[in-house]
Each structure stands twice: as structure tokens, then as C-alpha cells.
Amino acid sequence: MVQHFDENTTVGVDVGIKDFAILSNGEKIGNPRYLKKSLLRMKVLQRRLSRKQKGSNNKNKAKQAMAKLHEIIHNQRNDFQHKLSFRLVCENQAIALETLNVAGMLKNHKLAQHIADASWSSFVTQLEYKAQRHGKTILRIGQFEPSSKICSKCGYYNRKLSLADRDWVCPDCGTHHDRDINAAINIRKFALDKQNSIGI
């Protein structure tokens, strides 16, 4: 049986670096403050660790502190992601996501980007198993759909949109778009179009 979903029962989710997730209903979910604090602390510890002498007692202590912090960050992230994925699964019948290019992402050496990517893939895993458990559906669209560049109102394709443009006005219909929210709306739209064209 092919299920049909609509805009009221489906949420589109876009990923970000500044915000952890952006929803098609306009909601932006930032990374929790305590997670940011822990990441700052990690930078300090990394620097400290690199300065200590090999095999010294201080080096071992610094290593232990680092391991402990990794555990704290892991737990904080897990907790945050469990709550958010549970909420999304409870509030919606279907969740639309973009399939991300994980191989390309892992080549990125920027720490912040790397952490955001790793974090996102574990979040998707949590969404998937919760959706399955609660009888909800994950809808996916391909990574080549230009979700940021298309006006979610009229379908105009904005070729000129660059990565730096956080918001833009559609030259065709005049709608003012927040880049990420527009992308989240398009992710939902593309996913619904694809889903509802099956079996018709």
C-alpha cells in the first residue's frame, strides 16, 4: 500500500552548522549551549595535550581529561538528539530529509564541519529507528535537488544564489526567503511530490 502524506502531516528538515536543524514550519533548532561549551573546552584540552611531554605523568592526566570530555560530549549529544528525534516522530506522520554525501563530508577537515556531519548522521539513524518503532515514515530526496536555490513559493530557480547568501528575495514573485527555511520547505515539497507520484 502506498501511503499519501501532505504538508500538514509532513515536516521537512534541513541541516545546518549554525543551527542543528531547520524545519519547514520555520523553526530553527540551534545546537545546545552546553554542547558548544564542551567543544570550546575540547580545543583548550587539545592544546594542553599537545604541549605535554610524551610519557610524562602530566601527559597521561591530560589524556584522561580528554577521554572524559569526549564521553561527556557524546552523552550530551545523544540526549539532545533523542529528545529532538522523539519530538519530530511524535508530531509528524512523515519526516522528509535530504540524502547527504557522507563520503564527501568526511574529507572535510574543518573541525566544526566534521562534528556537525558526524552529529547529523547519528541523528538520522535515531530518526529512522524511532520512525519505524512508531509507524512513521522517513521520506528522502536526492542530494542533487537544488533545495536552497528554488523559490518554494513559485518555483523560480535562482542560479545566482551563493553560499554566503543567508536570505534572498525571489525576483519573480517577490517572496523574501530565509535560505535554510526555504530549503526545508523545498525538501518537504520534493519529498511529497516524489512520494505521491508513486502509484498514481
Binding site for Zn ion (CB under 5 A): 151, 153-154, 156, 170, 172-173, 175
- Is 7 a catalytic site residue? no
Angle at 54 between CA 50 and CA 58, to 5 degrees: 75
The residue from 7, 91, 98, 193 that is catalytic is 98
- Is 180 a catalytic site residue? yes
Which residues are bridge partners to 139 per DSSP? 96
The residue from 7, 14, 71, 172 that is catalytic is 14
> From the CB of 156, what's the least distance to Zn ion, in Å?
4
What torsion, rounded to 10 degrees, do the Cα atoms 149, 153, 154, 158 define? Answer: -20
- Is 14 a catalytic site residue? yes
> From the CB of 186, what's the least distance to Zn ion, in Å?
12
Q: Whose Cβ is closer to Zn ion: residue 94's or residue 181's?
A: 181
Which residues are bridge partners to 95 per DSSP? 11, 138
Q: Whose Cβ is closer to Zn ion: residue 44's or residue 154's?
A: 154
Angstrom distance (rounded) from CA 82 to CA 102: 21
> From the CB of 165, what's the least distance to Zn ion, in Å?
15
> From the CB of 161, what's the least distance to Zn ion, in Å?
12
Q: Whose Cβ is closer to Zn ion: residue 77's or residue 177's?
A: 177
The residue from 128, 165, 167, 180 that is catalytic is 180
Q: Whose Cβ is closer to Zn ion: residue 104's or residue 146's?
A: 146
Q: Whose Cβ is closer to Zn ion: residue 79's or residue 172's?
A: 172
> From the CB of 187, what's the least distance to Zn ion, in Å?
17
Catalytic residue ranges: 14, 98, 180
